[in-house]
């Protein structure tokens, strides 16, 4: 029985990680400055960073107020251009790629009033990179000084040591190092492949669990000269590296370009998904802006070859929350050719069609840390079967 764990921001949130909606808010810059020293991390300071931070607030009509945003001579009413950081990063990337685009005009006009006559304007490209680096910093700051033996880390240590077994795979869309820092306390069970050699190592060692970071990582380098992703061995690489070396696939035209560099990881991850007998979604619910990931995951689940497939959703206790309802609906469409465990059609047709595939979909009204605390692996790996004895 092999489990594929699909992790999103809700996986890391109990440890202090920001959710998508909490990135780049007024308090973010101050928190980053408290965490990272100016001399050691100069790229987290300066006009491009301040501009990127202010611009996001401006384009949300200062949805969280004006705290830390009191700049003289600046329009403090703002405008509604983007709903969340993903929309914002997409705007910036489009503005960088196409100087004549609507996004470029919006970004330039807003920044022009921020810079005014007193400040020397910086290229929009630098503002875009600064925004991505701020996101990387927020995805790193919450782990600084974390004690892996603390009470709040206990569920994650249990997940790593008890719930994840050789033969499983982990697919994550997080840039952070939660697995590397916390879950790896159980020993070298996990392997985070970056290149072809790493992937070969995952296949060759049966006791290793591959962790596919399909949107990059704060400790990776994008070596564009050689056209490859590398692991420089620095947990803070994204906070100090050259702009062109950032290896996080944030929204925008650049995202698909980087995704192509990670194509081998995607292929291995999708292969594991097609073979899985259990798929567990923890804190991940197909973000509306991530069409590529949505398509690839749904296609792989639809092509799953297991006779019985058990899907689990862990997105919090509110079963009527839109992300839960939406993920449930999308998964049911993906597995619509299978027969539900409790479907009378299953019992009727099974005797006539020995190739009929079953599924079970369970929604757990729990947060990630609750789920990791109480669930037993045996409960996850119980194969879905028709309700009642199989006909002979």
**Mean pLDDT, 10 residues at a time, the chain of 392 residues:** 92 92 90 94 94 93 72 71 91 92 93 77 92 95 90 93 92 94 73 82 70 95 88 94 91 78 93 96 88 93 93 95 95 87 43 65 96 94 54 32
101 by Cβ neighbours in 10 Å (0-12 / 13-18 / 19+) ranks as middle
What is the predicted pLDDT for the residue at 350? 41
- Look at the domain 3-16+148-214+262-380 and name its fold: Rossmann fold (3.40.50)
- What is the reported pTM? 0.90
Query: How many Å apart are CA 333 and CA 137, to the nearest integer?
Result: 37
Query: What are the backbone angles phi and psi of residue 336, rounded to the nearest 5°?
Result: -65, -20
What is the predicted pLDDT for the residue at 390? 34
Q: Where in the chain is the domain with CATH 3.40.50?
A: 3-16+148-214+262-380
Look up tokens 């200062």; give the residue.
62
């Amino acid at each position: 029985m092999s489990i594929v764990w699909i992790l999103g921001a809700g996986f890391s949130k109990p440890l202090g990680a920001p959710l998508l909606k909490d990135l780049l808010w007024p308090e973010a810059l101050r928190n980053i400055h408290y965490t990272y020293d100016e001399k050691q991390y100069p790229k987290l300071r300066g006009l491009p960073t301040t501009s990127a931070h202010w611009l996001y607030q401006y384009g949300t009509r200062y949805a969280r107020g004006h705290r830390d945003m009191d700049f003289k001579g600046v329009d403090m009413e703002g405008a509604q251009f983007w709903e969340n950081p993903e929309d914002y990063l997409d705007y910036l990337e489009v503005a960088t790629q196409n100087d004549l685009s609507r996004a470029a005009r919006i970004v330039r006009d807003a920044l022009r009033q921020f810079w005014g006559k007193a400040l020397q304007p910086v290229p929009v490209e630098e503002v875009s990179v600064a925004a991505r680096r701020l996101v990387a910093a927020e995805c790193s700051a919450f782990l600084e000084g974390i004690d892996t033996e603390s009470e709040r880390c206990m569920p994650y240590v249990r997940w790593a040591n008890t719930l994840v077994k050789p033969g499983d795979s982990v697919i994550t869309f997080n840039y952070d190092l939660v697995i590397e820092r916390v879950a790896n306390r159980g020993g070298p069970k996990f392997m985070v492949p970056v290149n072809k050699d790493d992937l070969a190592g995952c296949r060759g060692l049966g006791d290793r669990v591959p962790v596919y970071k399909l949107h990059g990582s704060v400790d990776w380098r994008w070596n564009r000269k050689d056209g490859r992703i590398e692991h420089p061995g620095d947990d803070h690489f994204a906070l100090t590296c050259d702009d062109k070396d950032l290896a996080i696939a944030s929204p925008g035209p650049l995202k698909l370009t980087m995704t192509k560099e990670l194509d081998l990881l995607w292929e291995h991850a999708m292969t594991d998904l097609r073979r899985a007998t259990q798929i567990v979604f923890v804190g991940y619910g197909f973000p509306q802006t991530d069409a590529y990931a949505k398509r690839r995951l749904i296609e792989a689940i639809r092509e799953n070859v297991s006779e019985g497939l058990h899907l689990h959703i862990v997105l919090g206790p509110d079963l009527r929350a839109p992300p839960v309802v939406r993920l449930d609906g999308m998964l049911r469409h993906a597995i619509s050719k299978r027969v539900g465990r409790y479907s009378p059609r299953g019992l009727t047709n099974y005797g006539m069609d020995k190739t009929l595939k079953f599924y079970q979909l369970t929604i757990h009204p729990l947060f990630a840390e609750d789920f990791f605390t109480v669930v037993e692996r045996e409960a996850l790996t119980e194969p879905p079967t028709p309700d009642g004895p199989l006909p002979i």
